[in-house]
Structures are given as C-alpha cells and as structure tokens.
C-alpha cells in the first residue's frame, strides 16, 4: 500500500471512531493478497488501491455504526466473497468469533489462507450455502449476529440470514442505496422468519461521499422449521 493509501485508510476509519493503527500490518497484508490473487482469479471486481481501501475496507468497517459488534459475539458473514465485511471487522475487533460463509470454494480458500497468514484466532471458514447451513443444528439459531453485503435483496437475504440468528440476536444488512422500497417488499418475509426491523441507519461513506444504509433486524421469535427453503428458492421465489 502506498503512504497515500495508508493515510486514506487511517483517516477514513477514524470517521467511524476506529483507531486502525494497531491493525495496519494486517490491512497491508490483506491488501497485498487481494491484489496478488486478483491477478489470477476474479476474486473481486475492485482492484485499484483507492477502491480497495474505500469500497472494501472502509465500507466493511461501516458496520460498526450499528453499535452491535462490541464484545465476544458469535458472528457469521453470509456470502462473504473475498471476506467483506467480515474480515476487516475481525481485524479491528479480534474478540469477535467470525464465521465466513460462501458458496464459492476459491473465495473461502482465499479467506482461510489470509486468516492463517495473519494468525487470526476464532475464525471459521465454511464453503457452503446459507440455505443448507440454516438447517444444520450446529449453526441454526446459534449466531448473535449475521452480516451480509451485496448478496441479494432484503426479502431473499432475510431467508438466508435470519434462520442462523438466535432469538435476541441481530441481522445487519449493508445496502448501498435507498432501501425504502426494498424494505417494504421484505416486511412480510422478515415477519414470517421471526424478525423485526429495529433500525435503518443511513450515512455517507468517508472519502467517497456515497450513500450507504445499514438495515438492522432483530430476531424476535424462532424461525419456523420450513425456512430456509431449499437452495435457490429464496432467490427465485422470495417470500412475500
């Protein structure tokens, strides 16, 4: 990373109240691995330094605005891709027990390798589908938090995430646009799955000035056993 890139990262993280200095070597390592891996695989579409710093690292850290990621929580990042938002969050909040879930093997292999290189404890990498994990007793309703960025619309996403969250826990969806319409369309799904919208937080991303929104959904009652439906159905035929 260049000195400019480092400064951009430190300053932008500060906007979320995060002193990123102690974790800087880990961000440098992640940056290098991302650039390296992107040369040979299509791990992520964002490849320039400013883009990686702001759209991957800082955008991931913006989940902290929810104030729901303090303490030794059991967290799952659903459809994590190359580790976003879970990896930057784990790097600044090592006390989180972080599970990375993705349906693409090479993405999970990338995260596994990076976690090993960084010596990050309390991380679990799972290659699989949320629809299947949601019925696995070792995972169903066992997480304090489910995070997700850029996976699907809220109606589908709720079916992928809420079954994994324990009652009293929260799902936090990162959205890059206004969510009123999407939220309206997802109300019935959220209710059926045992969720209640707790908060919608909108803000501008430091450095880019683009609008971002966090949708925070509380798990207020158990998810009925029928959900999630089998792989692919939540996306093809969203609950309504």
Q: Kindly list the residues in this chain that would bind ligand SAH in the complex (CB under 6 A).
A: 79-81, 84, 101-104, 107, 129-131, 149-151, 160
* CA dihedral for 213, 111, 95, 19, sign (positive or negative): negative
First to last CA, the chain: 46
Q: How many of the other CB atoms lie within 10 Å of CB of 215?
A: 25
CB nearer to ligand SAH: pick between 151 and 186:
151
CB nearer to ligand SAH: pick between 19 and 150:
150
According to DSSP, the residues that pair with 78 across neighbouring strands are 101
CB nearer to ligand SAH: pick between 128 and 222:
128
- Report the nearest approach of ligand SAH to the CB of residue 11 (Å): 22
Strand order of the β-sheet with 211-219 is 123-127, 97-102, 74-78, 143-149, 165-175, 211-219, 195-204
- Report the nearest approach of ligand SAH to the CB of residue 101 (Å): 5
CB nearer to ligand SAH: pick between 192 and 220:
192
- Report the nearest approach of ligand SAH to the CB of residue 13 (Å): 18
CB nearer to ligand SAH: pick between 86 and 194:
86
Phi, psi of 143 (to 5 degrees): -95, 145
Residues in the chain: 240
Question: Whose structure tokens read 């883009």?
Answer: 51
| 145 contacts 173 by C-beta, under 8 angstroms | no
Name the token pair of 135.
Answer: 């019925």
- Report the nearest approach of ligand SAH to the CB of residue 102 (Å): 5
- Report the nearest approach of ligand SAH to the CB of residue 80 (Å): 5
- Report the nearest approach of ligand SAH to the CB of residue 203 (Å): 17
CB nearer to ligand SAH: pick between 1 and 151:
151
| 77 contacts 99 by C-beta, under 8 angstroms | yes
* CA dihedral for 123, 28, 209, 46, sign (positive or negative): negative
């Amino acid at each position: 990373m260049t000195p400019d890139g480092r400064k951009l990262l430190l300053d932008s993280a500060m906007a979320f109240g995060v002193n990123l200095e102690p974790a800087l070597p880990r961000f440098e390592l992640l940056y290098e691995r991302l650039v390296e891996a992107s040369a040979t695989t299509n791990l992520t579409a964002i490849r320039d330094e400013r883009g990686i710093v702001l759209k991957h690292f800082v955008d991931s850290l913006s989940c902290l605005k929810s104030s729901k990621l303090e303490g030794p929580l059991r967290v799952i990042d659903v459809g994590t891709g190359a580790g976003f938002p879970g990896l930057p969050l784990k790097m600044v909040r090592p006390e989180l027990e972080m599970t990375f879930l993705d349906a693409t093997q090479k993405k999970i292999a990338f995260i596994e390798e990076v976690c090993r290189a960084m010596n990050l404890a309390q991380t679990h990498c799972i290659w699989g589908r949320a629809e299947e994990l949601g019925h696995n007793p070792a995972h169903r309703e066992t997480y304090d938090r489910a995070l997700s960025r850029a996976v699907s619309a809220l109606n589908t996403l709720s079916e992928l995430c809420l079954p994994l969250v324990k009652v009293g826990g929260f799902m936090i969806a990162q959205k890059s646009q206004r969510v009123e319409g999407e939220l309206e369309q997802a109300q019935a799904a959220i209710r059926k799955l045992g969720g209640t919208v707790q908060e919608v937080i909108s803000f501008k991303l430091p450095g880019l000035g683009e609008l971002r929104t966090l949708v925070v959904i509380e798990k207020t009652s158990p998810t009925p056993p029928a959900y999630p439906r089998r792989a692919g159905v939540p996306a093809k035929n969203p609950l309504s």
